[in-house]
Structure formats: structure tokens, C-alpha cells
Amino acid sequence: MLKKWGVMLLVVALMNGCSAKTDENVKEDAQKNESKVEQTKVEQAKEEPKIDLVKIEKEKRQKYINNIVTITEKTGVTNKLIEKLLMEANDNTSLFGDNKWKDAIRNGYKGIGNDYDTLKTYPQQHIPDEYKEHHETLLKSYETYMDSGVKIILSVEELNSSKMKEGLELKQKAIELLNKYTNDIASVPDPK
């Protein structure tokens, strides 16, 4: 019986010893795995580029502004040509009957209409969210300017001074809307 107890004690001791050794191995393996996981996370963090949302937003805004400036500068050049033609006609009223002069006025407004179409079809996803409302103001400015052109062209063809006055008033309103757009865009805070 003693022999049985001795064998039993030996088996229990061995099992406890093995179990303790197994626990140590498990703990060591767990620590190694944790270390590998942490090392992998660090390596991934080094490899993956960080997305700088502020930088992306600033670039989107700058691209939008650059595109709008290009379009509005073109419109500005055409507008100066139209103003010059109208001033010439103011000094020499016989130009109101000159077809080349009339065509130049029409072509000027046609060019501005093309700029307006470009602005109307500007992709919405390329307009920064903070600028979308202001973009609508810009479109309203161009729409008003085109209405002004219709009145001015009619006044030239009909020799109607009241339509010319209406056209010039609409043009002034369009300029005010453009100034509002410019001020509103400038007042939008930088992304943070």
C-alpha cells in the first residue's frame, strides 16, 4: 500500500511539476506573442502614412479658390471689354447702329455666359462644404449679370434708355453679390 501511495505521490508531484512548467511555458509564450503584436503594431504605424485631414481640406479649398479665380479673372477681362464698348457708344452714339459693335457686346456676354455655365456645372464634391453656400451666392451674381446683359443688349437693339438703366442696375447688383461672395469666402475660418 505504501508503494501505491508512493507511486501516487510521485505521479501527483510529476503532474504538478509539469503543470507548473506548462504554466511557465504558456506565460512565456503569451509574453512573446504580446511582444510580437506590439512590434507588429509599431511597424504598421511606421509603414502606414498618417492621413492629415486638415491638410487635405486646405488643399481642397486652395484648388477651389484657384479654379474660381481663373474663371472670374476671365470674366473680369470680358467685363472690361464690354464696359469699354459701352463707354465708346456713350461718346459716339452712332455705334448703337454698328453691327460689329453689337456683335462685340453679344460675344462678350456670350463669353461670360460660358463662364457662368462652368460655375454652374462645377462638381459639388470639389466644393468645400464650408464654401457651398457661398458658391450659390457666386452663381446668383453671375445669373444677375447675365440678366443685366439681356437688358443691355435689348436696350442697344431697341435704342431704349430705360432698359439700359435697368441693365446697369442689375450689373451693379451682380457686382455687389460678387463682393459679398468674396467677403464671405474670406471670412471662413481655416480648418483646424
For residue 123, give the DSSP letter. Answer: -
Alpha-carbon gap, residue 22 to 11, rounded angstroms: 16
Q: Is 190 helix (H, G, I), strand (E, B) or coil?
A: coil
- Number of CB atoms found within 10 A of residue 106's CB: 15
Could you report the per-residue pLDDT of 32-78, keeping only the tens digit for each? 555 555 555 555 555 556 678 889 899 999 999 999 999 999 999 99
- What was the pLDDT predicted at 13? 43
Q: Which three cell numbers stand for residue 178?
A: 460678387
* More reliable by pLDDT, 5 or 123: 123
Tallying the residues shown for the chain, one arrives at 192
Q: What share of the chain is helix, strand, coil (3-state, %, to 5)?
A: 90, 0, 10
Alpha-carbon gap, residue 32 to 125, rounded angstroms: 48
